[in-house]
Amino acid sequence: MTAAAARYVALYDGDCGFCTRWRDRMMARDPQGLVEWLSLHDPSVAARFPGIDRDDALRQMYVYAPDGSFYKGAQGWRELFRVLRGLSWAAALYRIPGVSFVMDRVYRYIAARRYRLSCANSACRTPGATGPTVDATGAAGMGSAGRRKSPQGRGPHAAAVVFAILVPPCLAAGSSAACATRDPDPLSERLEAIADPEAAAAVIASFASYGPYSVWRAHHNVEYTYQLEFYGGQKDPQAVSRQTHRLDLGPLARSFAQDLEGDAPQVVRVAGDSLEVRRAGVPVLDPAQLDFPRAFMRIARWSFLLPWDLLDPEARLQYRGERTPPMASRVPSDLCDVVRLTFEGQDESRRDDWHDIYISRVNHLIDRIHSYRAEDRTYSVVLWSDHLTFGGVRIATRRETHATDVTGEIGALEAVVEYSAVHFDAPFGDEVWSGMTATAPITTPGPPSLPAAAGPLQAPGTGAPPDDDTK
């Protein structure tokens, strides 16, 4: 560290065109020259900052303040925001619980990939390198990651600075009510609990596209028409079911489903672990006939609430890399970030289950979910499409389930689910579950498996072992 300077000194990677362009933009906000931007590769750095950890400084920007204090990465940007014209509000947002933690992870994720973000001139340096390792197109220097190269200027987020400015307001909106009452903010808590920063970055981007979270959190219930067409690998649907679903978005996980057609319409009510099923007005009491409705309602609820289910504290998220999934139509698939979802605390038969969530790098919406069920060694892929906005929240109103294998290739059509007439904050309340004893929410994490008698989807190649790194 050096003695106190007369102004802020920001040490950055001067060999990175992406970094220098952001330097120029920030200099335009500094008419008084309060910040000195000094390339880490400038010969004067060694003399002015003896003992500097060069490898660490290549991983994250260093900022020295006039009072002698020292900051790194996202915290360095926070200090610069205090003095750069028009950005002091962004610095203030870092005081919101969880924002500083999230921004630090997002910054590190982007900084490590800055050489792929429209590098100018000859090269960008990778963190810890002593010389240029990639050319302007990112043709080399991927190291052991082995991940597909991104198109220029494309990534989960275009720039660390952009996210430093744009993400805090989103988190602020989502946590303002919690701050006012001192209640914990589940979004901040959940993001802090995600051990994989790349997975956290992809989730943040997805939430911003589907919400924002503040809008989702403000809703207390939802009602919609649910249509299920079951194909079972055949050309035409073998069965069609239409229902009204009502979901209480509160902590008791209450759900309601009522058949709209049929000779003996069924009504299913769920309140936590309590279940009631009636067919043609007659209660169903046989436990063997209750397993399927219970599992079905949990699947229906879990599916509709994605991606917000990723806030489940039992969910474990791991970034699996960048992939372009197999084409589902004549339109080429988008390059996607793949986040693997697993759950702790599952029973022994589901311990090895996983769900690979493909999040488009173009619009940050879920493109598909490729799943493996260990119990019967089957795979499925659910294609999400027809996103529409209801109550400020985007919903994929069509979900096609196909048979598949470990590769994720699109196989026979198994089922199609469509959502319509979606109405958040609908005019229903506790009367829907009147007479039921409210119990604690279901404790088994994640989506359930349907009972074997329901005929689980059989995928090609069911004898293949579960995937770890082969896709």
What is the pTM (predicted TM-score) of this model? 0.63
- Of 347-356, 390-399, 431-440, the range with the highest mean pLDDT is 390-399
The tens digit of pLDDT for each residue in 26-56 reads: 898 888 899 999 999 999 999 999 888 988 8
What average pLDDT does range 396-406 have in this prediction? 95
How far, rounded to the nearest angstrom, does the alpha carbon of residue 43 sit from its chain's CA centroid? 42
The tens digit of pLDDT for each residue in 47-87 reads: 999 888 988 888 889 999 998 899 998 888 889 988 888 77
pLDDT attached to residue 251:
81
Q: pLDDT band at residue 300, thresholds of 50, 70 and 90? A: very high
pLDDT attached to residue 256:
96
The tens digit of pLDDT for each residue in 361-389 reads: 888 899 999 999 888 899 999 999 999 99
**C-alpha–C-alpha distance, residues 315 and 445, integer Å:** 8
Residue ranges and CATH numbers for the domains of the chain are 8-193 (no CATH), 220-454 (2.50.20.10)
Decide if 107 contacts 74 (C-beta within 8 A).
Answer: yes
Decide if 389 contacts 405 (C-beta within 8 A).
Answer: no
Look at residues 30, 185, 209 and name the one whose alpha carbon lies nearest to residue 102. 185
pLDDT attached to residue 378:
93
Higher confidence at residue 390 or residue 111? 390
The number of residues in the chain equals 471
What average pLDDT does range 97-103 have in this prediction? 68
Higher confidence at residue 162 or residue 156? 162
**C-alpha–C-alpha distance, residues 94 and 210, integer Å:** 23
What average pLDDT does range 173-184 have in this prediction? 42
CA distances from 133 to 83, 115, 128, 138, 465 (A): 34, 9, 11, 9, 37
What average pLDDT does range 98-111 have in this prediction? 72
| pLDDT of 121 higher than 80 | no
**C-alpha–C-alpha distance, residues 429 and 246, integer Å:** 10
pLDDT attached to residue 219:
94
Decide if 459 contacts 405 (C-beta within 8 A).
Answer: yes
What average pLDDT does range 290-300 have in this prediction? 90
What average pLDDT does range 196-210 have in this prediction? 82
Decide if 439 contacts 384 (C-beta within 8 A).
Answer: no
pLDDT attached to residue 176:
40
